[in-house]
């Protein structure tokens, strides 16, 4: 086999949650580019339809990761998938002492409980078929923390631990489980930083590679981890942050 053939996803079904925008949309474009059959899911149905149209014959499913019925419905609709990109999530930027119970529960449900449930249901099918890849979107904050993101950081740390446990339990069944921990990545949720040159420059000083990440930077790593070229990698959280956590 030529090395490039490791990255041919023709005939493989790839399910991506949170696919309507940001990193999720970057994932959709990347996997469409390597020939995958896409199953896209998001609570933002308008954005979802737009990215599905851009990616060709992609399936699009309305999806609320905080609702177990919606998670179960996606699994039924998607059927057997070869790759799950468990990407949907929300960010709460709030001082710890100002947190309300509803806000806390919402972040935990979307960023931790929902991904656990989806991993459990999809993983069961993959184990039965004795093959499959699951990739979670974690966060660089798992490794260094940040102010005003206590619940988000804790939830993402839980994802990284989930990855280790699932990898241990399912490895002999041919199922690999990993996570990607993005650093500062330019998406709709943080492009406001570009409007403040001083703030933008302050953050760039922390990044050895001298720039913010782009969704495609995350997507490139996801394609590798999902490919046969990464067949001996499981249970890992791969940091993609331009070197932010090094200093």
- Please tell me the distance from the alpha carbon of residue 30 to that of residue 20, in angstroms, as a whole number: 14
Q: Does 232 participate in catalysis according to the annotation? A: no
Using alpha carbons, list the distances in angstroms from residue 49 to 54, 62, 85, 139. Answer: 9, 10, 18, 27
Where residue 139 falls (left for φ over 0; alpha for ψ -120 to 50; beta otherwise) is: beta
- List the structure tokens of 105: 């529960």
Residue among 3, 63, 93, 152 flagged as catalytic: 152
Give the SS3 label for residue 190: coil
Q: In what order do the strands lie in the sheet with 132-137?
A: 59-62, 37-42, 13-17, 83-86, 132-137, 175-182, 237-240
Q: CA 16, 75, 101: angle at the middle one, nearest 5?
A: 75
Cα–Cα distance for residue pair 29/181, rounded to 1 Å: 19
Beta carbons of 55 and 32 less than 8 angstroms apart: yes
Distance set, CA 6 to CA 26, 109, 127 (Å)? 20, 35, 22
Q: Which residues contact 29 (CB under 8 A, 6 or more apart)?
A: 51, 54, 55, 216, 219
- Enzyme catalytic residues: 152
């Amino acid at each position: 086999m030529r090395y490039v053939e490791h990255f041919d996803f023709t005939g493989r079904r790839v399910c991506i949650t949170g696919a309507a925008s940001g990193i999720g949309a970057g994932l959709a474009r990347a996997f469409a580019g390597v020939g995958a059959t896409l199953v896209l899911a998001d609570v933002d149905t308008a954005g979802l339809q737009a990215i599905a149209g851009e990616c060709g014959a992609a399936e699009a499913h309305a999806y609320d990761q905080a609702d177990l019925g919606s998670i179960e419905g996606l699994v039924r609709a998607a059927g057997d998938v070869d790759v799950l990109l468990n990407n949907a999530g929300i960010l709460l930027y709030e001082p710890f002492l100002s947190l309300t119970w509803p806000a806390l529960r919402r972040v935990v449900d979307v960023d931790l409980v929902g991904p656990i449930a989806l991993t459990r249901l999809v993983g069961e099918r993959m184990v039965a078929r004795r093959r499959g890849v699951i990739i979670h979107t974690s966060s660089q904050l798992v490794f260094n923390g940040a102010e005003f993101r206590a619940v988000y950081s804790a939830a993402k740390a839980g994802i990284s631990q989930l990855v280790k446990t699932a990898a241990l339990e399912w490895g002999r069944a041919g199922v690999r489980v990993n996570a990607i921990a993005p650093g500062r990545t330019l998406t709709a949720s943080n492009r406001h930083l570009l409007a403040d040159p001083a703030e933008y420059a302050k953050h760039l000083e922390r990044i050895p590679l001298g720039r913010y990440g782009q969704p495609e930077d995350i997507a490139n790593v996801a394609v590798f981890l999902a490919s046969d070229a990464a067949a001996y990698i499981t249970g890992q959280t791969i940091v993609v942050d331009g070197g932010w956590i090094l200093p």
